[in-house]
Structure 1
Amino acid sequence: MGIKILTVLLLILKILGIVLLVLLGILLAFLLIVLFVPVRYQGSGYREEGDPVPVHVQLKVTWLLHLVRVSFIYPEEAFLKVKVLFFQILPAKEKKKKASNKKEADGKKPKTDKKEVGSDVSDTTSDQKISDEGNAADEDGGDDRRTLLDFVRKLFSAIRNIKYTIRKIYDKINHIIHNIRYYIKILQTESFKRAFVLCREQLLRLMKIVLPRKVSGTFTIGMEDPAATGQILSIYGILYPLIGDSITVIPDFEKPVMEGSFRFKGKITAFTLIRIAAKIYFDKDLKRVICLFKKEAVQNGRK
């Protein structure tokens, strides 16, 4: 009897172990898919001369063999559309709301007699003038009774305020000078230099990953002043070593025109982004520099 129970327990443990391994395998596969399957994006746009719309743009983002699709079209569909398989996540389908007709109550506002209001206003204004004249006479008498002692007290209080303000400004300037010297010392440390080089390299790598890998476009540009068209063409010549043959600019010196089309495509992998973030986050030099800045902030009472 005991052997049978032990056999059943072992069988249950075996099944549980297999189920657990399968779940771990599924979780690991999903994690690898999220990390290494790139998010692909592409976009295009065009503008035609005489078109009332300034530009037509179409953007599309896909992931995992178009399992997740995000699209944006302007001006035909000027909203973000998100689909997973055959299900639309955004925008959610709005339920039709029944319009309810509300009757407005016909309430007439009581009319006021303008003549009575005018007479009341004239009476009150006349009374107000009489009271103002009496108050003005009292105030003139009070101003005449001000003593020289009050004037001297106000003069001394003004001098004390000026002295306090000058001392406060002086302390503020000294505080600013101290902070500038402290931050200059931080910028001159080897830790800051190594952290700056690391952040610059990772930022350039991030731009290389995020920016589109394929860009193409053709534009026809003409300004009212031919000299302005020539300036645009000279700028294009300066940027030509960077953009190459991917962007073509056709000048038009006869008439003002602005039309063309463009297209770009790229992809982003989550693993590369996480790797860049991890290198920056776990860098010891950067942590040391941040601690120095935080130390100064705590000493100044900003935290």
Structure 2
Amino acid sequence: MIPAILKAILFLILLLLGLLLLILFLLLFVPFCYRGDGKRVEEQLSGALRVSWLFSLLRLKLTYQERMKAELYFLCFRLYRLENEEEEARAQIADGDVREASENAQKTETAVPPASETEAIPVTEQNIAGKGTGVLSEKKNETEAALEAAEERQRKKQLREKKHRRLSKGERSPEGEPMQGKIAAVWNRLRQLYRRAETEYDFFQSERTQRFLHFLKKKLFRFLRELIPRRIAGELRFGFADPATTGQVAALAALLLPFYRDSLRIEPLFDREELSGELSFRGHLQLFVFLFGAAQVWFHRDFRYVYRHIRGRDKRQKTEGVHG
């Protein structure tokens, strides 16, 4: 009996591990497909984005037309909807505002006493005498403050004259450091900056650093190629208030011409300010590409060398910032 139970438990554990490995394998190698379209006409923006995975087993739909809507589906069942939560949040906020306004109105009514409960304060000789004493004390305080300010100005003037006499005689400054010492400190600081710049230049020009940067550039272009949609179609018209800005954006679009040569039409407008057009795109991406690329960068033979140099530089900067 006991061996049968142990076999069943072991079988369940292996089954769960197999399911986890299968799910992980599917997440890494089955691509996430996406497609979207957008339109902007007469300052009205609308668009939709759909993301699906594993033959539309899991679907996410985002739409925008005056407000954002989101829906998440698993097979034919809707698991999540953003619009309902927004409406409930708006209703709760409106109820809270109404409740807070009513409470404030009640507090205002209770805080203001009726006119029958207010009593006039009688004017007596004691009140008049108290007011006179207060005026005299205020004048006395103003006179004392003026005297203290005059004494402070005289003290500062004497300190400036004493400092000027010391500097003219070549003596030490009030901080206790000679002028020549300050110049030497500035010179030492400039020498340190020059040595650091020379060290950084040597590090950047070293063979190991250049080899790692070349490898990193290849991986970044691979990631970018995976992220860019496979198909892009549409037309775009843009114009800014300054024609120079329009020309700069057009130059940037010309640099990206190999990515959309036969699919996207771009028209710069130099005579008016406008942003309109239609755009549709589709593509897919695999998590395995990013995970495997990151692992290749981490285990590269020159990554540790570059990482240790950057980490040591950060530590030196922190130490200098704390201790000077």
Same fold per TM (> 0.5)? yes
Tell me: CA distance 1:227–1:76, structure 2 relative to 1, closer, same or farther (3 Å).
closer
- Which of 38, 53, 57 is the equivalent residue of 1:67? 57
Q: Report the equivalent of 1:45.
A: 38
Matching of residue 152 in structure 1 with residue 142 in structure 2? no
Provide the C-alpha distance between the structure 2 equivalents of 1:232 and 1:121, rounded to a whole number of angstroms. Answer: 73
Give 1:195-206 correspondences, 5 Å limit: 195-206=212-223
Q: Distance in 1 between matches of 2:150 and 2:271?
A: 79
Over residues 55-105 of structure 1, what are the superposed CA-to-partner deviations in whole Å (9 max), with x where a residue is unaligned? 222222222233333333223432554444421175774487576554334
CA-CA distance at 1:253 after TM superposition: 9.0
Deviations 1:140-193 (A, max 9, x none): 679779997995378444474573654443343233222212211211211101
Rounded to whole Å, the distance in 2 between the matches of 1:152 and 1:246 is 79
Q: 1:261 aligns with which of 273, 278, 284?
A: 278
Query: What letter matches 2:61 in structure 1?
Result: S
Say if 1:45 and 1:72 are closer, same or farther in 2 by CA, change over 3 A: same
TM-score (norm 2): 0.68
Change (3 A) 1:236 1:281: closer
CA distance in 2, matches of 1:41, 1:15: 42
- Alignment partner of 1:284: what SS? coil
What stretches of structure 2 of length at least 5 have no aligned partner? 167-171
TM-score (norm 1): 0.72
Aligned 8 A contact 1:83 1:90 in 2: no
SS of residue in 1 equivalent to 2:50: strand
- Name the SS of the counterpart of 1:215 in structure 2: strand
- Alpha-carbon displacement from aligned partner over 1:190-241 (angstroms, at most 9, x marks no partner): 1101110110000000000011111111235678999999998887667545
- Which amino acid in structure 2 is aligned with residue 215 of structure 1? I
Question: Which of residues 165, 175, 186 is equivalent to 1:169?
Answer: 186
Q: Quick one: which amino acid aligns to residue 4 of structure 2?
A: L
Among 86, 105, 112, the residue aligned to 1:108: 112
Q: Secondary structure at the match of 1:278?
A: helix
Contact 2:233 2:263 in 1 (8 A): yes
Number of positions where the alignment pairs a residue of Structure 1 with one of Structure 2: 291
1:275–1:131 Cα change, 3 Å: closer
Q: 2:111 is paired with a residue of what secondary structure? A: coil
RMSD: 4.6
Asked if 1 retains the 8 angstrom alpha-carbon contact of 2:234 and 2:279, the reply is: yes
List runs of 5+ in structure 1 lacking aligned partners: 1-7
Structure 1: distance between partners of 2:59 and 2:130: 73
Which residue number corresponds to residue 32 of structure 1? 25
Residue of structure 2 aligned with 1:290, choices 278, 294, 307: 307
Equivalent position amino acid for 1:292 in 2: H
Q: CA deviation at 1:242?
A: 4.2
- What CA distance in whole angstroms lies between the structure 1 residues aligned with 2:301 and 2:237? 51
The 8 Å contact of residues 48 and 62 in structure 2, kept in 1 or not, is answered as yes
Name whichever of 71-80 and 30-39 sits farther off: 71-80
Equivalents in 2 of 1:293, 1:251: separation in Å?
A: 43
Q: Which amino acid aligns with 2:111?
A: G
Query: What fraction of aligned residue pairs are identical, expressed as a percent?
Result: 22
